Amino acid sequence: MKILVINCGSSSLKYEIYRMPEHQSLGKGLVERIGLPEGKVIQEFEGKKYHRCLEIPNHRIAFEQMMQAILDKENGILNSPTEISGIGHRVVHGGDQYSESVIIDADVIKAIEINCELAPLHNPANLTGIREAQAIFPLVPQVAVFDTAFHQTLPPSAYLYGIPREFYEKYRIRRYGFHGTSHRYVADLAVQILKRSPENTNLITCHLGNGASITAIQAGRSVDTSMGFTPLEGLMMGTRSGDLDPSIIFYLEERGFDFHEVHNILNKKSGLLGLSGISSDLRDIEAAAEEGNQDAQEALETYAYRIRRYIGAYVANLIKVDALVFTGGIGQYGVKMRQRICSRLENLGIHINRELNQQVGANPGIISRDYSPISIVVVPTNEELQIAIDTCNLISNDKCKIS
């Protein structure tokens, strides 16, 4: 069985093909700069590269170019489109309608449309990807995998805000959480690494990349997460502010900043970039900090402090924690940042092993000391594989579990 995984953005189309249930990636590609004069198609398959530069005016042309790349006689991945058994789509927002992945039908499309108001930058593009894929593959079953679905098990105490209830009932303002596909994937893999069962395991998973979030997982269910109504809430990130006093927004508007300018600042000019004044890339900031740049040093400390604060809160609410899991670009490769984060968590029973921490990177592994009551595990995430697994499970009788 071959599953096509699609992540359609407003100006890009990412895709990957998996052989299931073997979990084997057959190749992946990217169509970018859709709607701009100079578009690109880049595909990698068994060491072969397919590359084209051309104008890609819309998503219909982007999908046509994707299919040309996939079926290219010299550097393609497949011989025929009939080899594709199912298509899995990343969809950012499922609202509170969906707590798991679903086969796409008219009702699912309607729900995604309704939730466009909650994710105006993502859901419309995701919906475009679904419609274009349906036009090319009208008889192939297609599956929606929602970023928000995993967090639909949050209790009201975790998802409600302290504002008039009518805003929740009328405008659906609540904590939804994001990165759910990644948190679910690494949680399942961490449980296997630790040789435990989900039913008696509590985890705190840290997805740390340019976007960052932390989730408390109790017996396989998300019970709290740091991102909220939008991905802006929670941890300080690459360019996002994370948590801040809401009155700061009013304060800035009183001083001449308009709404759109403030929105842009908090989402694209804040976080590591804003505090350091250097970059949103952790590696650049760490290099500057080593050279004595105080702004860079403070940005790193603030980043680590915010993460520790969430870990401490989740430890308190979970009562029992079995493992702390790191994933994402920073979580997986940020050796110094993992050390920085864990250095003050010993009182919670989290003891990092410096030597093991230096060694783990591309592959999953445990980096805590033998006597640490709470294990520390580094797990590379693979949201595309999780989407392929969900798609396989929904369209087939075979169970395509993580292994």
Q: Does the annotation mark 107 as catalytic?
A: no
Residues paired with 104 in a beta bridge? none
Q: Are strands 375-378 and 323-327 parallel, antiparallel or unpaired?
A: parallel
Q: Select which of 147, 224, 322, 390 is catalytic.
A: 147
- Helix (H), strand (E) at residue 261: helix 259-268
d(CA 235, CA 237): 6
How distant is the alpha carbon of residue 354 from its chain centre? 27
> For the purposes of burial, counting CB atoms within 10 Å of the CB of 101, is it exposed (0-12), middle (13-18) or buried (19 or more)?
buried
**Tokens matching residue 149:** 């679905």
d(CA 313, CA 256): 36
Position 58, amino acid: N
Q: Are strands 102-103 and 84-91 parallel, antiparallel or unpaired?
A: unpaired
Buried-state track 249-272, b at ≥16 Cβ within 10 A, e below 16: beebeeeeeeeeebeebbbeebbb
Q: Which residues have a catalytic role annotated?
A: 147
